[in-house]
């Protein structure tokens, strides 16, 4: 296990060391539960919840807490958002939760159908042509 990395920079002419943790949850892996029932109860860390994600970089730069936890659920935009956040805070520590692929895919498909999707499961996942949802 590597020691915790601190991100240091100048803000308002004051040198500040900040530990930043970036939870990037996928849909249907308990991210909402963590964001409302677990993360807010952590002690000694400033939690930036999903509803404030768009302002998270500004919040981190303009405040002086020693530790931050940023949490946001992503699906298709996961890779782009991780690149963008990492560019702003390269030493941020990622937190990524996964679940068994079979259960996760089945859960994603049930949500898709519940929301009005009409493709069959084979069309939804389409492993052969990579044309699925």
27 three-class SS: coil
- Separation between Cα atoms, residue 119 and residue 97, nearest integer Å: 27
For 3, list phi and psi in degrees, rounded to 5.
-65, 155
86 shares its domain with 105: no
110 shares its domain with 84: no
Q: Please give the residue range of the domain that contains residue 84.
A: 7-98
Domain count, the chain: 2
- Separation between Cα atoms, residue 38 and residue 31, nearest integer Å: 10
| pLDDT tens, position by position, 88-110 | 999 899 998 888 999 999 999 99
- Separation between Cα atoms, residue 120 and residue 4, nearest integer Å: 45
37 shares its domain with 51: yes
Residue 93: strand pairing partners: 21
In a domain, 1, yes or no: no
119 shares its domain with 61: no
Rounded to two decimals, what is the model's pTM?
0.74
pLDDT band for 62, please (50, 70, 90 cuts): very high
Alpha carbon of residue 48 to chain centroid: 11
What is the predicted pLDDT for the residue at 6? 37
In a domain, 2, yes or no: no
Task: Report yes or no: 86 and 98 within 8 Å, Cβ to Cβ.
Answer: no
């Amino acid at each position: 296990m590597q020691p915790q990395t601190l991100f240091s920079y100048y803000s308002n002419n004051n040198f500040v060391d900040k530990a930043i943790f970036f939870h990037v949850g996928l849909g249907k892996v308990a991210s909402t539960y963590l964001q409302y029932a677990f993360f807010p109860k952590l002690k000694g860390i400033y939690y930036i919840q999903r509803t404030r994600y768009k302002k998270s970089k500004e919040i981190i730069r303009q405040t002086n807490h020693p530790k931050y936890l940023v949490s946001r659920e992503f699906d298709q935009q996961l890779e782009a958002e991780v690149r963008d956040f990492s560019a702003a805070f390269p030493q941020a520590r990622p937190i990524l939760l996964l679940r068994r692929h079979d259960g996760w895919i089945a859960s994603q498909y049930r949500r898709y159908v519940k929301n009005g999707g009409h493709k069959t499961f084979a069309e939804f996942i389409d492993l052969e042509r990579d044309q699925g949802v």
